[in-house]
Structure 1
Amino acid sequence: MDKVGSFDAEGFYEALDAQRQSRRLNWKQVAAASGVSASTLTRMAQGKRPDVDGLAALAAWSGLAVDDFVRGADTAVREPDSLAKISTYLRSDRNLSPEAATALDGLIKVTYERLRSDSE
């Protein structure tokens, strides 16, 4: 199966470097401020991809939107389905513990599938 999209790691690194320069920081300071290891940044400079946690930390630190660096044959932005949105909202709700979000997510998915099947 072919991948639908790919991540432009080089473009992300270049944008990250622009953020670093605009803040007048060196890479060691970026590592400390973002919480990623200096070796992650070195690997990225060599064309390697960061792991998902490193990518998330760098995106949060820099304010860059990871979606802006996803490339694919279909450039149209796809809208996630309702269940994906609900799951995302529940897991980001600060009023819910991770366990509560998981429980609600499961309940909603089961109910959704049940009601969707009944309407077909």
Structure 2
Amino acid sequence: MAAAGDEWAAVMFFYAAYQRMRAALLEDPTFDSAAGCAARHVDLRPEDRHATRHHGRRSRNQFFEFGVNEIVQILYPGSIGAYDQLHQMSIQVRYERGLVPDLRAVVEAWERFRKLDEEGALTGRP
């Protein structure tokens, strides 16, 4: 898609990053205990490793349910820039007037994200 210049490649790249982040959460030892979670953020809970929403919200019980974006910011701060850029460009394509920067910006954000992943930035270790 990207080679063909299709702006929907932004959506594809974002969801590839999103699924990689979800896999990182499932593998992350932070979530193995309540103490491990609390050491990273007072409101983080072991069940947050199963987050699927992009953004958090207050639950019916009035505790905060983290979204993937907030967890990424807490556990993988070095990757939030590229991840959020991919997310925002995906939103532009899906819900707004289309991709504002050209497709090169999407590919560059994806390459930054992929490099961070290869370097081990998605391990959740402080």
Q: Normalization by structure 1: what TM-score? A: 0.35
The structure whose Rg is larger is 1
RCO higher in 1 or 2 (8 Å CA, sep ≥ 6)? 2
Q: Normalization by structure 2: what TM-score? A: 0.34
